[in-house]
Amino acid sequence: MRKYKAYCFDLDGTVYKGLKPVPEAKEFIDYLQQQGIEPFFVTNNAKMTSIQVQSKLHKIGIEAKSDHIMTSAIATARYVSEHFDHKNVKVLGDDGLRQALSEVGMKIVDHNPDVLVQGMNTEITYQMLADACYAIENGAAFVATNGDLKFPTEYGFAPGNGAMAELIHNVTDIAPIYIGKPAPYMLEIIQQQFHLQKEEMLMIGDNYDTDILAGIHYGIDTLHVNTGVTRTKEVLAKDRPPTYAIDSLREWIE
């Protein structure tokens, strides 16, 4: 296999599953770090700050550098600060998103926002959804951290952020700008921040529709692992398959 400078790992289903590590991924990360290669972590999860992601990884024995952790909240904050001149944002999201927006100098307001920024919020109420719709109907732009419609839990599939965003879309007739994978914004920020060439980057993930497509859209190599959402067989049958499809990262340890 080829060597890369930037190994960009998805988290859930790739590095861990819930609270448990994926052992082969942990071994592969150890193997990279022994060679002085610090991996990147790229997650659509907008609830956690990079410090919270770092501490979750620490609990499963992985030491990650906080500036190598990219969440859809961080990328969304950067996108909003670069694309809108007016800085008043209304947030329908959690701590990770609020903190990321404050850090780039956005002002969080309740009324008359320029942008409605929507991210996963498990405390969401009918009133919050209605207020988000009113803000957009009154002219606020609509940006959402990620479009994942559902995610697996021990009880079954639960509504993901995209399910809430699409509800607002249906009411307002305004489609959100989605920032998380499969959009390439998070990979683009990593490339710019660390002055990488696209040939030096590899996106590693379990989900074809988010991880692998993000890499394909951005034009970097992709590696699919069979430890999560999409099975290898399905991935190989796609029109645009990943660069590599393997069972687990153990196959990549020499």
Nearer to Mg ion among residue 81 and residue 226 (C-beta): 226
Q: Which of 247, 182, 219 is nearest to 14 (CA)?
A: 247
Q: Is 94 in the site for Mg ion (CB under 5 A)?
A: no
Q: Interacting stretch for Mg ion, rule CB under 5 A, among 111-119, 149-157, 184-192, 225-233? A: 225-233
What is the nearest approach in angstroms of Mg ion to the Cβ of residue 235?
A: 13
Which stretch, 31-39, 75-83, 117-125, 227-235, contacts Mg ion (CB under 5 A)? 227-235
User: How far apart are CB 132 and Mg ion at their closest, in Å?
Assistant: 27
CB 119 within 8 A of CB 144: yes
Q: Which residue, 10 or 221, is less far from Mg ion as judged by CB?
A: 10
Instruction: Find the farthest-apart pair of alpha carbons in the chain and give their distance in angstroms, rounded.
Output: 58
Comparison of 87 and 217: residue with beta carbon closer to Mg ion: 217
- DSSP single-letter state for residue 37: P
Of 144, 86, 82, which Cα lies nearest the Cα of 112? 86
* Closer Cβ to Mg ion, 140 or 220, answer by number: 220
| 184 in contact with Mg ion (CB under 5 A) | no
223 forms beta bridges with 204, 244
If binding means CB under 5 A, how many residues of this protein chain bind Mg ion? 6
89: Cβ contacts below 8 Å, ≥ 6 apart: 80, 101, 106, 107, 108, 109, 113, 114, 115, 116, 117
What is the spatial distance between Cα 220 and Cα 187, in angstroms, rounded to a whole number? Answer: 9
> 3-class DSSP state for residue 149?
coil
Closest CB 82 distance from Mg ion, rounded Å: 27
Q: Which of 4, 6, 7, 10 binds Mg ion (CB under 5 A)?
A: 10
| Residue type at position 25 | A
Q: Measured from the CB atom, is 106 or 225 closer to Mg ion?
A: 225
* Contact map string, positions 192 to 211, toward Mg ion, x by CB under 5 A: --------------xx----
Q: Contact between 230 and Mg ion (CB under 5 A)?
A: no
Position 12 contacts Mg ion (CB under 5 A): yes
- Please state, in angstroms and rounded to a whole number, the distance separating the CA atoms of residues 112 and 89: 9
Neighbours of 184 (CB within 10 A): 20
* Nearest residue to Mg ion on Cβ basis: 13
What does DSSP say about strands 107-108 and 40-43: parallel, antiparallel, or unpaired?
unpaired
The residues of the shown chain that bind Mg ion, judged by CB under 5 A, are 10, 12-13, 206-207, 228
